[in-house]
Chain A
Amino acid sequence: MTTLITILFFGVAYGMILYLISVGLSVTMGLMGFVNLAHGVFAMLGGYATVTLMNRIGIAFLPALAIGCVLVAVLGFVLERTLYRHLYGRSELDQVLFSFGLILVSVALVRIAWGPVAQPIRLPDYLKGQVTIFDLALPAYRLALVGFGTAVIAGLWFAFDRTLFGARIRAAVDNRAMAQSIGINTSRLFAAAFGLGTGLAALGGGLGADVLAIAPGYPLQYIIYFLIVVAVGGLGNIKGPFVAALAIGLSDTACRYFLPEAGSIFIFAFVFAVLIWRPNGIMERR
């Protein structure tokens, strides 16, 4: 029983990290229709920023995380304005190639700057060790992940459903031409959404530095998981990917515990099954 709870817990924590990183991709995909394989780069850079600020400059974990997110969000915003926006109408192939090229460039630069080895993350003392709740010893780090993640997600959902910005995004995802004709500046909206999405990815990357290791190969290694979350959850919405991320997180953790010989085989097979059943994602309206 304890094992199940622990698996549940680890799985949820993992799922939350996946969600934080992937939700930005779902929104920008639904908004701009741009196949951005390089999304993982921003998560990775968030991780590198957080770890470097902590290790080299001595800033505490939470402030380092916040600064890292802002830096990456700004970078995302700048890249969108300078490079991405020229490719919105282009073919899927061109977008894939461009984002793949971006991955290669960032992997190389990161490797040159920080070397090939994974970055060691020194968790702050209050996140080390375990916390006992109802006779269960849960790692403090993962507990914090779940708590923090829930808070961010709740804030995101609120922003999406209740604020003007969120409403504009939802309108533009639904019907871009219509949104423009009612006066929404879609160009600026895209830039803002892209910055927000990459900032969230950086948050996920930094927070999850102990879950998804921060190393140069990060964007290539993990992009498939982010794509899975978005494809299974459905493009352009923020609730579907949440369910998808939790499902992936839980089943992957459970699988690695009960069937370690199978590795990721089960996850991929599961993804195929789900998408055969619902090609447009689980939130598809029938």
Chain B
Amino acid sequence: MTTMPVSRNVSVTIRFGVIRSGLIRLLKLLPWLVIASLPLVLAGYEPLATQIFVMILFALSLDLLVGYAGIVTLGHAGLFGMGGYTAGILSVHGITDPLVTALCAMAVAAFTGLVFGVAMLRTKGLTLLMLTMASAALLYEIANKATGLTGGEDGLQGVAFSPLLGVFAFDFRGKTAFFYSLTVLFLVFSFVQVLINSPFGWSLRGIRENDARMAAIGCPIMRRRVIAYVIAAALAGLAGALQAQTTQFVALHSLGFELSGNILIMLILGGSGRLYGAFIGCPVFMLAQDQLAKQDPANWFLGLGVILIAFVMLAPGGILGIAARTVDAIKMRRRA
């Protein structure tokens, strides 16, 4: 066995890694710049694009849980709605700065995530799944009954936000909303990438793959999962606040089971556990929904259900999973 020059190996790895990541970072900025220049080419699609950005952000927060920490939740809309209602209610009561209300929304959603997380994450499997649903249902019921605060079934009336940074007003054409949500999405995505590649992110993957082994190496599993849940909650709350700010409206459906289900489907369609999955699944789903669901809700459900079943039985891993397997197959054939 040859002796490995250990320290040289490590420093080469680090230095090479830094150069590579610098180049890659420049390449990765490109699509963002392309998307940012879209309003120059296509007018009138800003509102739809904004909604897509909001959903991608929401789906990213879900991916942290489902794709990395291994926590399957059907109640993530509860945190989205908490953020939305926080931002909306603050604006109704005079606090209208978008950035301030967004931060408050994140804080409230994070706190909600902490409380529910500590209560729920000691359970697992079907019990945990049920509790995630119950947590969102509980919040929905509270919002439903507290009509004085939330407007109940009619939704929150009188939501209005002051111009972003004091300069950019949220106008009808939605240009401010477009760039605002795109910027926030970019910042969050960068943060999530750092998180995934941190020791914390790796330990989440370990917990997902073999939690018994993680316990055996001294990992405080509950603590890590709760932290992941709180971070995901804060980001979901941010998405909810963004939606309130860009649509100037908050309603009960932002806490609803249908939204929790939809965002999970969007994530899975693109592929969970691969950060780009959200970027593929959300536009595909939302564009399809925009075209098909209004015409015929029953057939939309039918098609969606069939696609889901087909995906699970034939193509786990979503669109990115299919892409990855195709690339692997090509590589295999080249080697042979």
Contact = CB atoms under 8 A, between A and B. Distances in A.
Contacts of B308: 97-98, 100-101, 104
Contact of B126 (A35, A83, A101, A111): A35
Interface string B300-326: 111011111101110010000000000
B213 interface: no
Contacts, number: 134
Interface string A85-129: 011001011101110111111111101100000000000000000
A164 interface: no
Given A100-B261, A102-B309, A268-B141, A235 B119 contact: no
Contacts of B304: 101, 104
B257 A276 contact: no
A213 interface: no
Contact of A105 (B126, B131, B305): B305
Given A97-B268, A112-B298, A261 B145 contact: yes
Contacts of B134: 224, 228, 268, 271-272
B173 interface: no
B31 interface: no
A263 interface: yes
Interface string A195-219: 0000000000000000000000000
A224 B268 contact: no
A94 to B, nearest CB: 5
Nearest to B142: A265
B66 interface: yes
A98 B312 contact: yes
Interface residues of A, number: 46
B125 A102 contact: no
Nearest to A98: B312
A87 B152 CA distance: 41
B126 A94 contact: no
Contact of B119 (A29, A94, A223, A272): A272
A17 interface: no
B164 interface: no
Given A93-B66, A105-B309, A230-B126, A275 B141 contact: no
A281 B316 CA distance: 32
A98 B133 contact: no
B312 A97 contact: yes
Contact of A265 (B145, B257, B312): B145
A101 B312 contact: yes
A105 B298 CA distance: 9
A220 B259 CA distance: 12
A227 interface: yes
Interface in A236-286: 261-265, 268-269, 271-272, 275-276, 279-281
Nearest to A265: B141
A276 B72 CA distance: 19
Contact of A108 (B123, B258, B268, B302): B302
B125 A108 contact: no
A231 interface: yes
A83 B312 CA distance: 11
Contacts of A102: 305, 309
Nearest to A269: B138
B302 A279 contact: no
A35 B261 CA distance: 15
A276 B122 contact: yes
Interface of B: 66, 72, 74, 119-120, 122-123, 125-127, 129-131, 133-135, 137-138, 141-142, 144-145, 257-258, 261, 264-265, 268, 272, 298-302, 304-309, 311-313, 316
20 contacts: A35-B126, A35-B129, A83-B309, A86-B313, A96-B264, A97-B265, A98-B312, A101-B312, A102-B309, A224-B130, A227-B126, A227-B130, A228-B130, A230-B130, A231-B123, A263-B145, A271-B131, A272-B120, A272-B131, A275-B127
Given A101-B308, A108-B300, 18 more contacts: A83-B313, A86-B313, A92-B125, A92-B129, A97-B265, A97-B268, A101-B304, A105-B302, A106-B305, A224-B130, A227-B129, A264-B141, A268-B135, A272-B119, A272-B120, A279-B122, A280-B123, A280-B127
Interface of A: 29, 35, 83, 86-87, 90, 92-94, 96-98, 100-109, 111-112, 220, 223-224, 227-228, 230-231, 235, 261-265, 268-269, 271-272, 275-276, 279-281
